[in-house]
Structure 1
Amino acid sequence: MSTGRDTTAPPSARSTEPQPLSEDVPPRGEERTDPTMSDPAKSPERTLLPTASGAETLAAVRGMLRGHRLLAFGAVGVLVAGTGIGLLTAPLLGHIVDLVVEDRGTGSLHLPMVLLVVVALVRGGATALGSSLVARLGETVLAALRERFIERALRLPLERVEEAGSGDLVSRVTGDVSTIAKSVRQALPEFARSTLTILLTLVGLAVLDWRFLLAALLAMPVQWLSVRWYLRRAAPVYAAHRVATGALQHQLLDSMGGVRTVRAFRLNEAHTELVARRSQSAVDLAVRGTRVVTGFFSRLNLAEFIGLSAVLVTGFWLVDRETVSIGTATAAALYFHSLFNPINAALFLIDDAQSAGASLARLVGVSSLAGESGPEDAPRPVDGTVEVSGLGYSYVSGHPVLEGVDLKVAGGERIALVGASGAGKTTLAKLIAGVHQPSAGTIRLGGTGTGELGPAGIRQAVTLISQEVHVFAGPLAEDLRLARPGATEEELRAALTTVDALDWVSALPEGLDTVVGEGGHRLTVTQAQHLALARLVLADPPIAILDEATADAGSAGARVLEAAALRALEGRTGLLVAHRLPQAATADRVVVLDRGRVVETGTHEQLVAAGGRYAALWAAWSDSRKGGEGSGVVPEQAGASEPGVAKSASGSATSTPGTAKSGSESVASEPSAAKSAAKSVASEPGAAKSGEERTDSVLEAAKSATRSAASEPEAAKSPSASAPSDPGAAEREPVAAED
């Protein structure tokens, strides 16, 4: 008995993480973890975003349906009418059989034949209309769910998004939404139609003779057991497959996003193996799902055989006893046979329902998360002062990244943060910007504590510009208006003039109306940073943080951007995570961090005269400018074109492959809001080595150069040993190795 179903199709993008399958797959509702570091031996567990329970998912769907009751009742009513009319087909055919058996003549067949045509036309029209209404209802609910998901995802604390990793969020907003959309457009109308057909057909069997209904129900136990067998095995597989797909997407983002670093450190084979391993996990789960589906439908075929045999035997017995006519028995057999397609379709759609259910639970899980909390009417900071007191922070418990940091910044003052990789520069910047919440200590902006300001108040007070700037697709003017929605064209031009970007904007094909971003005019790295600085001018916050904002530009581009940044910072407090010493030298004050503590602070001239770490760094950089790479001292490392690496004063090269690459290799930089966790230290095993920040590499070389002075015992290590010299330094910043 062929039912026309496809039992070979694997579960379509069901669920994710490569874990042991079957009973040890975490139940829905638990947060899963995912290793995402490039070195599997050192992979920490990544806490994924939560998944809603079945009850929570149903409650969310009911809530979204409340506003569309009329549409829902209309769709069900039309489908019931169409299905009920279609049930007249079997009795009409049975009547024709009786007419033939009784030899009534061909004239008696005209009316039943006309009625069959009318029934077919009415049923077809009602079914089409009902299916259209169901699809409209599904699309409306899906749109509401998608909007709710996006709205809540954009309000999630950035720290929570970084913990989960970009792959998890991306897989939900792409794969999960696509799976649900496919089910809504294809599976939902078919499932509704099939369910109504089954129920009304069973009623029709009872109307013919209640014993036909009992015979048909003999197939129910086998079908019920088959469904239970399937659900027990399919749900964990589909849930795990969705997680595995997310892990695969995260690894692909990691490997492709850091492709230059992967090549520089010759990690091609390692990353290929990681992608292959995650891909194989997803494939294994898909194959396992296919086996479950195949076993499910073989059991359904057995149920069909049992039910049809029972109906035929019952019909023979009733006809033999002259309880029913041959036509009635024929109608009963046709009724049961007509159940094959709707029953199989409904049960087959359980496969899609399982996949859609797993995806829906993942979307509802994010939609149910609490957004950033804070006072609704937060006070606006009165000025741009920043006061940090006793600040501490840990990414991993027991491994503090910042300890006892005290810092006061006057309004309008420009501060440069300098330090080795892992010193805590970017973490400090993130804490001030409100990306993370401090583990200890307090932060006051404009005299008001960040707890009183709340996330919205902090965003009004602080604007963070990172190394990676996202250019939104659309007209360039609209991209600029993100910072000030009501800005006039004159205000946009004034902001561009401030950052010296008006000339190249005017040279674009359509000026401010030029479409940029995905599918439009591609901006260079320098132009994208100009755009970010112009947004800063338009937003006009009292405090601005530039986290290696010029790192991706070449030497010339970096100098242009530094000049533009100085103009953008006029009249506001500025904190610069510096990667070029000339940039730090122009600041009003330089703050040197080491191992999460402030070790030096003062003007450039004061620190150079003090003869400490900053002085050694400046001396090494100055010597490199005089002697060049061959002199055995540190080259400038101003941009991607610089081929050199830091060398020690003794002339022994301590080069690390790829350290001469531009700051675009640095997974360290603060991601933009739309790409908050796309690159973590987890993806770059060499992130703790020199070369991630130009200043960091130079500083470590300067420490080596001052070894004979012995004034800094901690600095008397080669650059290659600088990262491991702090036990746990690489491990304690799993999200922000950029420090």
Structure 2
Amino acid sequence: MIGLAPPEHDPEAARTTTILPVGSPATVRSYVAGLIRRHRKAFVLLVTVNAIAVIASMVGPYLLGDLVEDLADGARNIPLQRTIALFALALVIQTFFVRMVRLRGAMLGERMLADLREDFLVRSVALPPGVLERAGTGDLLSRITTDIDRLANAMREAVPQLSIGVVWIGLLVGALGLTAPPLALSVLVPLPLLIVGCRWYFKRAPNAYRSEAAGYAAVSAALTETVDAGRTIEAHRLGDRRTLLSERRIREWTQWERYTLYLRSVLFPVINGTHTLNLGAVLMFGGAFVLQGWMTIGQLTTGALLSQMMVEPIGMVLRWYDELQVAQVSIARLVGVREIEPEAADERIAPDGRHVRADGVRFGYRADVDVLHDVSLRVRPGSRVALVGPSGAGKSTLGRLLAGIYAPRTGEVTLGGAALSRMPAERVRAHVALVNQEHHVFVGSLRDNLLLARTGATDTDLWAALSAVDADDWAKGLDEGLDTEVGSGGYALTPAQAQQIALARLVLADPHTLVLDEATSLLDPRAARHLERSLGKVLDGRTVVAIAHRLHTAHDADVIAVVEDGRITELGSHDELVSANGPYAALWHSWHA
């Protein structure tokens, strides 16, 4: 078959948009098998009620076949009333069980979809923090939104309907074989056309639908990045470039949409041709068999009706199997997170003390491209260490390593002698907390947002935390106080207020070691200075690693580490480094000027 060629892949798009893995066929099969096992009772019930409905639907052809047989034999006393009564009874039974099939199928689909959503969410939240940070927003959002939407119809309809269709076809073929065994062979006539057409289609469909889904993810990523960085794009006059990128991504996606539509435009005529061949074969072979006396006219009538009844289940199976091609891609993208190996953790490992050390650390976001080069640092308990240096030097990366977000490629980061990368994430978070420039206000009350850090906190604790970060004044001014709804659709918080909530969570979490990555960057300098002074009381006695471009933070620190090109080039107190007249002194004089 010759037709529309598949669009060419854009390797750059794949490289930049597909960060989280796509599940292998083995992973998908394993997950689907487990999902079916969870709901095996519902599957058995669905198959049972469907079998009763199909058997009831076959009463009509048998009654009509007997009626034709009686007429052909010249019978004069035909029991029409009994035939009509039996047909009516079978119709009532069929109607009732068809309703049961639809109801049970819908319930099964909804439960499986709910399980899939919950499994994906639980597995995503359990991913290593470094993986989530590198994943970006486009690919992850497209999976939880677009792929779930595509799966919704498949789970609600395709899986139950496929089960129904397979049982339906099996029962019809069995009934045809029992009624008129010679006619059962006629079912084989359209099989070559169906097999050739389906092999052609299903050989191309999975990759086409996978590419279509990846193309949509690329569109989503491009649009999300453009919206998130709207002000930067406008400031640097990159609007035209971003528009061209979005148009290119949309064009590539729509090309794959057209290609998958072309594939379906070939498959559907093949299916229609199969139905025509099937009925024609039954009538031709059946007529010859009747003339030869191998079967009766009544058997031919029943067989032809049963054969014609196969049109709907065959079409159903192929239609919903086609739908499952789309669903299979979405499932592969959703269960792909199961292939991410969890970071090795040993429940027995616990810190013995509060000393933070980095020894010979190397780290890179891509293979063979290190951001940090042989970095070593000692952080004494209760001390304040400031990481300063030019943008892109590796300060934030080093801070995330010290907070246990990333694991070093070589070397080791330890807390109290225990490697952070080998400790369970919950245990690391109990000792070390990271507050960076990014923050999030969850939809819900102000109280709920704060309780995320410590679920058992009282209102007194919450107000104390807000007071510690200078947020109690505006919080008390809210109409409903702690019960005020914030986030999307609620009270609109300013960026500074949202950052104060993040810092209040830090106070409630009460870790002994803190990594502050420009945590006050969204506040104006005066407010930031005031907040840092207030935080000083809260942070007293804790180990603090602060990353900031505002050098007054460095001035107040016990130790200053200057990071340049992924290396620590200077280490000492403010006075020592200013006297050394090195890189830090240059930064200090430039900042003061």
TM-score by length of 2: 0.92
After TM superposition, the structure 1 = structure 2 runs for residues 31-110 of structure 1, keeping only pairs within 5 Å, are 35=13, 48-98=19-69, 108-110=79-81
Structure 1 stretch 508-517 or stretch 586-595: which is displaced more?
586-595
Give me the identity figure in percent: 36
1:290 pairs with 2:261: yes
1:287-329, CA deviations, whole angstroms, 9 ceiling, x for partnerless residues? 1000001101111222222211111112322343455444432
Candidates 217, 221, 225, aligned match of 2:188: 217
1:465-508, CA deviations, whole angstroms, 9 ceiling, x for partnerless residues? 11110112222212211111211222112211211212222222
CA RMSD of aligned residues (A): 2.5
Q: Distance in 2 between matches of 1:579 and 1:169?
A: 31
Q: 1:209: Cα distance to partner?
A: 1.0
Match of 1:704 in 2: none
1:551 pairs with 2:560: no
- Whether the 8 Å CA contact 1:57–1:361 is kept in 2: the answer is yes
* 1:467 alignment partner, SS class: coil
Match of 2:452 in 1: 482
Unmatched runs of 5 consecutive residues or more in structure 1: 1-19, 26-31, 37-43, 624-739
Match of 1:517 in 2: 487
1:372-416, CA deviations, whole angstroms, 9 ceiling, x for partnerless residues? 321114314523x32223222233445432223232222222222
* 1:49 alignment partner, SS class: coil
Match of 2:569 in 1: 599
After TM superposition, the structure 1 = structure 2 runs for residues 414-433 of structure 1, keeping only pairs within 5 Å, are 414-433=384-403
Q: 1:368: Cα distance to partner?
A: 4.0
Letter in 1 for 2:578: V
Match of 1:647 in 2: none
Match of 1:664 in 2: none
Candidates 117, 125, 149, aligned match of 2:96: 125
After TM superposition, the structure 1 = structure 2 runs for residues 295-314 of structure 1, keeping only pairs within 5 Å, are 295-314=266-285
Candidates 322, 328, 335, aligned match of 1:351: 322
Q: 1:57: Cα distance to partner?
A: 1.9
Q: 1:556: Cα distance to partner?
A: 4.6
- Whether the 8 Å CA contact 1:374–1:456 is kept in 2: the answer is no
Q: Distance in 2 between matches of 1:96 and 1:567?
A: 96
1:529 pairs with 2:499: yes
Match of 1:334 in 2: 305
TM-score by length of 1: 0.75
Match of 2:591 in 1: 621
Candidates 261, 276, 286, aligned match of 2:247: 276
Q: Distance in 2 between matches of 1:235 and 1:229?
A: 11
1:531-561, CA deviations, whole angstroms, 9 ceiling, x for partnerless residues? 1111111111111111122223344543444
Q: Distance in 2 between matches of 1:57 and 1:338?
A: 33
Structure 1 stretch 343-352 or stretch 108-117: which is displaced more?
108-117
Match of 1:205 in 2: 176
Q: Distance in 1 between matches of 2:437 and 2:113?
A: 36
Q: Distance in 2 between matches of 1:566 and 1:281?
A: 54
Match of 2:581 in 1: 611
Letter in 2 for 1:238: Y
Match of 2:541 in 1: 571
Q: Distance in 2 between matches of 1:336 and 1:239?
A: 36
* 1:390 alignment partner, SS class: strand
Q: Distance in 2 between matches of 1:272 and 1:437?
A: 37
Specify whether residues 110 and 390 from structure 1 end up closer, same or farther in structure 2 by C-alpha distance, changes over 3 A only.
same
Match of 2:404 in 1: 434
Question: Of Structure 1 and Structure 2, which has the larger fraction of its residues in helix?
Answer: 2
1:394 pairs with 2:364: yes
1:455 pairs with 2:413: no
Candidates 218, 221, 232, aligned match of 1:250: 221
User: How many residues are treated as equivalent by the alignment?
Assistant: 589
* 2:259 alignment partner, SS class: helix
Candidates 189, 199, 205, aligned match of 1:234: 205
Specify whether residues 241 and 325 from structure 1 end up closer, same or farther in structure 2 by C-alpha distance, changes over 3 A only.
same
Match of 1:734 in 2: none
1:420-450, CA deviations, whole angstroms, 9 ceiling, x for partnerless residues? 1221111110111122211233322234332
Q: Distance in 2 between matches of 1:81 and 1:557?
A: 74
Q: Distance in 1 between matches of 2:193 and 2:530?
A: 75
Structure 1 stretch 195-204 or stretch 100-109: which is displaced more?
100-109
Q: Distance in 2 between matches of 1:184 and 1:195?
A: 17
* 1:544 alignment partner, SS class: strand
Unmatched runs of 5 consecutive residues or more in structure 2: none
